[in-house]
Amino acid sequence: MSIMGKNQTKIREFILNQVEHHPSDIVSIVVKQFGFSRQRAHEYVAREIKSGKIIKVGHTRWTRYFLVGGNHIEFSLKVKSDLSEYRIWSEYIKPMVLRYSNNIQEVCAYGFTEIFNNVIDHSEGTIVYVTVKISNNNLIITIIDNGVGIFQKIQKALHLESIREAILHLSKGKFTTDPSKHTGEGIFFTSRIFDSFSIFSDDMFYTFTGKDWFLSSEKKESFGRGTYIKMVVSLSSTKTPKEIMDQYANEEIGFGKTIVAVALSADPGDPHISRSQAKRLIMGLEKFKRIILDFKGVESVGQAFVDEVFRVFKNKHPDIIINYFNANDNVDAMIKRGLNTKKG
């Protein structure tokens, strides 16, 4: 190899070794190391972009450079009508996850494009900020916008008394504030294909892990308007989007089943006794063919609550199957009493 070739290899290796540590000033680092002009340093960095070794995001002083196959990428973009979630996925995120198994790529593609598209269509924000990080065998995607806030948007759309009720309706699936553009399945399935899915908005921080939504104990400082979403998947995960969707699907009716956490229909510690609480619980559930009510965390239910769910709603929708689980002895006895009364 010629001296010039050796020098070029040295410069190339230096850039690739340093870019993860200097995403915003790699050009200045090259100038300092080799005594180049900024123009020449830019040319060397541009070669690595063209060769597919480095990803460039942003423009002018907001330009950042990230290593393809590295462990970190972050960028912010203006939210405009022509912003494409698929283009952003293909150019910025996909190159980073190509080294992992097909199912990890599928999980990340589904989750990123669904949530990023929600920002474009629903957030009413002007800026979206994205980070993707690999740490401790986990791949972590965060998407933050400065819009109206997801819980507030749902509260207004459904005229809810409490903003807290928004998470209940979000958890059911098939809910969307814009049915002309969305089916409402995106967050439902995204929360289930990732190992952990968190939403922070309006000073409420909810996480879905396994089978439950819960108020997260993770500390999160308020950042003003908008929505923060964090998705975590283990790089050892074997889950696929199709596998999760198949759990809720039926060949004839599609997304026909939902599991609803009853505890979300009341404030923590409050008994589930009233018809109004029951009506909040069953709002929108007529879209499903099978409803599974999860009574985990519910200490007691009242006769009116049971009657509204298991008699009134059932009589209006006789073809819908309603099952329940995780009911303690008191709750189970009250439900069975209601069902027996109905039969009598």
**Residues 236 and 95 reside in one and the same domain:** yes
* Residue 344 confidence class, pLDDT cut points 50, 70, 90: very low
Residue 56, domain CATH: 1.10.10.10
Q: Average of pLDDT values for 156-172?
A: 84
The CATH number of residue 78's host domain is 3.30.565.10
Which pTM value belongs to this model? 0.83
53 and 102 co-located in one domain? no
Q: Which of 15, 49, 67 is the last residue of a domain?
A: 67
Instruction: Report yes or no on 249 lying in a domain.
Output: no
Report pLDDT digits (tens) over 65-82. Answer: 999 888 999 999 999 988
- 332 to each of 303, 329, 338, how far by Cα in Å? 12, 5, 10
| One domain, residues 201 and 130 | yes
237 assigned to some structural domain: yes
Q: Say if 90 falls within a structural domain.
A: yes
Bigger pLDDT: 56 vs 223: 56
Residue 286 is part of a domain; what is its CATH number? Answer: 3.30.750
Parent domain of 60? 3-67
> Do 321 and 284 belong together in one domain?
yes
3-state secondary structure of 191: helix
- Tracing tokens 């809910």 back to the chain, one arrives at 175
Q: Buried b / exposed e across 24-38, counting CB within 10 Å, b at 16+?
A: eebbebbbeeeebee
Q: Work out the average pLDDT over 215-222.
A: 70
Q: How far is CA 16 from CA 26, 53, 231, in A?
A: 10, 8, 28
Same domain, yes or no: 113 and 234: yes
Do 272 and 129 share a domain, yes or no?
no
Q: Which residue among 189, 221, 243 closes a domain?
A: 243
| pLDDT, position 194 | 97
- For residue 251, being part of any structural domain is answered with no
Helices (H) and strands (E) counted in the chain, each on its own, are: 14, 14
**Average per-residue pLDDT for the chain:** 87
282 and 205 assigned to the same domain: no
Type of residue at 164: R
Tokens of 4: 């010039």
Q: Which among 41, 34, 32 has a CA at the least distance from the CA of 63?
A: 41
Give CA–CA dist 161/54, Å, rounded: 49
Domain count, the chain: 3
Residue 115 confidence (pLDDT) above 50: yes
Last residue of a domain, one of 46, 67, 88: 67
Average the pLDDT over 19-45 and give the result: 91
Same domain, 118 and 226: yes
